[in-house]
Structure 1
Amino acid sequence: MRFLPRLLLFALLAFTSACQSACSYVRYFIPLNPTSKNGQPVDHTAWNGLLKKYVDSRGMVNYAGFKADSAALNGYLTVLRDNLPTDKWNDQQRLAYWINAYNAFTIQRVIRAYPIKSIKDLGGDKTLVNTVWDQRFIQLGDEKFTLNDLEQRIMRKQFEEPRIHFALVCAAMSCPKLRNEAYTAERLTAQLDEQGRDFMNDPTKNQLTPPASPKVSAIFSFYPKDFEKNKGSIQQTINRYATQKVNPDAALSYMEYDWALNVQK
């Protein structure tokens, strides 16, 4: 009998841990639409200047430079915090806001711990539960959000736009390259198409020969349904942007994802 209270305590702790994990996972199936009443469309000039300064043409990042210039980055993130989208913004303004927010907050999270070898070192290994992408560090309005909130609950739920996967950068070598300019509402379509062409034709991301059995980025295996909407296919998405076309019924295999930090050397 003397062991019963201890067993009950262990059982309660295990149950609580399981509930917390389940709740963390389930929340990403619930759409999210944080807005403000008076938020002004954001001028992304400050973020654009930082990207020009610390990201090269290959998308490699000078994290030490960003860290030394963190006051400027934090100033831009404060603008995002104080100007959540409103229902008066158009889709291009909202999507540009969320893509830039995702990439800028990713940089902030990395430089807080820099130097590191991989962004995955900053969290646990349970997807949608305790990874770095599940940490609530993003202050927007009066609430804190996670990177997965921005991607899974906002962008993927609100916008039927698979090209976001060519623009959202997770600070890893196998991610699409970080564009060294900010996304803007006025140029968003052209910028996303350019990201698609750059990503698909990069042999370190996609190996498109032989066309009957190409080896493509694991991103396509992470989000297959996003690329198959409107009766499309992954192969059609590839051929929309690739110089080297693949067969419409190509048997796809996926490259191992390289999580090493996308740092300038």
Structure 2
Amino acid sequence: MKTIQLFFLILIIVSCSSNKKISVNTSKQSLKNQQLIIDTDINTENIIVEEISANTEIRLKKDSITTVNSYITAPVFDSILKPKHDSFNKLLSMFVSKEGFVHYKDLKKRQLDLQKYIFYLGENLPTQNWTKSDILAFWINTYNALTIDLILRHYPVKSIKDIKNPWQQRHWKLGDKWYNLDEIEHQILRKMDEPRLHFAIVCASISCPKLLNEAYTAENLEQQLTNATQDFLSDSTKNSISKDKVELSKIFNWFNADFTKNGSLIDFLNLYSPIEISKTASKSFKDYNWDLNE
């Protein structure tokens, strides 16, 4: 009898041990399966990222938004197609005074940072999906960045006019094309029907509108352009304005057609002038000082 009891006791112990082993093995298999699921998720995510990257490259090269992949969400889409100007904003805040004077000597030490920003612009050209404000801010910042880079390439220099054909030099590749300053100003910016841009882009000279010590952005563009125009008109070194007589910057002479599309030049001036100008006021133009704005 004792032998039989001992036999059953041993059988129960063996059975419990076997079940425990099975349970442990099952848990290990569950963990293994879970690991497989995690790995599968990671691989799927990688595939999605790779597909986004591939489609993005196609969009940038074709300058089109028609191949947008369904995986791309709106925030990702915006970040790809609308570059931020933070790095340029930082350089401007560090090396441009509130009066618009540029510390070229110190900025030259950071020229590589400026050129990285220009390269970044070239990889993120405007598309047909951008708003007018997005495009204007992009090309204004581009024009100003290229102008600064042009000066730094030749610094020290006393005037931009000491550089041979400064507005025709093609140092900068944006997308698949080499650009010069003339092309950006006359073939792109001036065709956007925004005369105030003439007070936002600069020629690195004393008589130019002052270089803003912050980047232009689509969100703030309207106020930035208005402020730049008002500041320029109220600067007595560049424009002398009274009710019956105005001595204006030659910018108003060179680009008269841009300011008179919706009325006379006086009409445009009165939109932003600190003084109401008579329609019969006499007009003349000041000499232009091309000395470097430093």
**What's the secondary structure of 1:144's corresponding residue?**
strand
Map of 1:23 onto structure 2? none
Query: Aligned partners of 1:138, 1:35: CA distance in 2, in Å?
Result: 20
**Ranges in structure 1 where 5+ consecutive residues have no aligned partner:** 1-33, 124-130
Q: Distance in 2 between matches of 1:237 and 1:260?
A: 28
User: Is the partner of 1:215 in helix, strand or coil?
Assistant: strand
Q: Is the 8 A contact 1:35 1:85 kept in 2?
A: no
3-state SS of 2:156 partner: coil
In structure 2, the CA distance between the partners of 1:35 and 1:224, relative to structure 1 (3 Å rule), is farther
Shift in Å, 1:35: 8.0
Residues in 2 aligned to 1:115 and 1:36: alpha-carbon distance in whole angstroms: 38
Amino acid at match of 1:37: S
> What is the CA–CA distance in structure 1 between the aligned matches of 2:204 and 2:241, rounded to whole Å?
24
AA matched with 1:256: D
* Superposition pairs of residues 46-125 of structure 1, within 5 angstroms: 46-123=87-164
Secondary structure class of the residue paired with 1:195? helix
Aligned residues: 220
Instruction: Quote the offset at 1:251 in angstroms.
Output: 1.7
CA apart distance, 1:214? 1.2
Q: 1:204: which partner in 2?
A: 237
CA RMSD of aligned residues (A): 1.4
Alignment of 1:1-265 (within 5 A): 36-37=63-64, 40-123=81-164, 131-157=165-191, 159-209=192-242, 211-230=243-262, 232-263=263-294
Deviation of 1:45 after TM superposition, in Å, equals 0.6
Q: Give CA-to-partner distance per residue, 1:196-215, whole Å, 9 cap, x none.
A: 11000000110113x22211
Structure 1 Cα separation of the partners of residues 284 and 220 of structure 2: 33
Change (3 A) 1:96 1:217: same
TM-score, scaled to structure 1:
0.80
- Which structure: larger Rg? 2
Q: Spell out, residue by residue over 1:44-72, the C-alpha distance to the aligned partner (whole angstroms, 9 max, x if none).
A: 01100000000000000001122101121
**Aligned partners of 1:133 and 1:37: how far apart in 2?**
29
- Note the alpha carbon deviations across 1:169-226, whole angstroms, 9 max, x for none: 00000000000000000010010000011000000110113x2221111100000010
Alpha-carbon distance, 1:40 to partner: 1.6
| Structure 2: distance between partners of 1:134 and 1:245 | 39
SS state of the match for residue 282, structure 2?
A: coil
Secondary structure in structure 1 of the residue aligned to 2:240: coil
Corresponding residue of 2:30: none
| One-letter amino acid of the structure 1 residue matched with residue 118 of structure 2 | L
> What residue in structure 2 maps to residue 22 of structure 1?
none
Distance 1:80 1:65 in 2: 23
| Gaps in structure 2 of 5+ consecutive residues | 1-60, 66-79
- Are the counterparts in 2 of residues 35 and 87 from structure 1 also a CA contact under 8 Å? no
Structure-2-length-normalised TM-score: 0.73
Runs of 4+ in 1 over 3 A off after TM superposition: none
- SS for the counterpart of 2:178 is strand
Do the aligned partners of 1:35 and 1:86 also contact (CA within 8 Å) in 2?
no
CA separation of 1:53 and 1:35: change in aligned 2, threshold 3 A: farther
Higher RCO structure, 1 or 2 (CA under 8 Å, sep 6+):
1
Q: Give the Cα separation in 1 of the matches to 2:240 and 2:62.
A: 41
Structure 1 residue 143: Cα displacement: 1.2
SS at structure 1 position matched to 2:219: helix
Percent identity at matched positions?
42
SS of the aligned residue for 1:153 comes to: helix
Which one has a larger percent helix, Structure 1 or Structure 2? 2
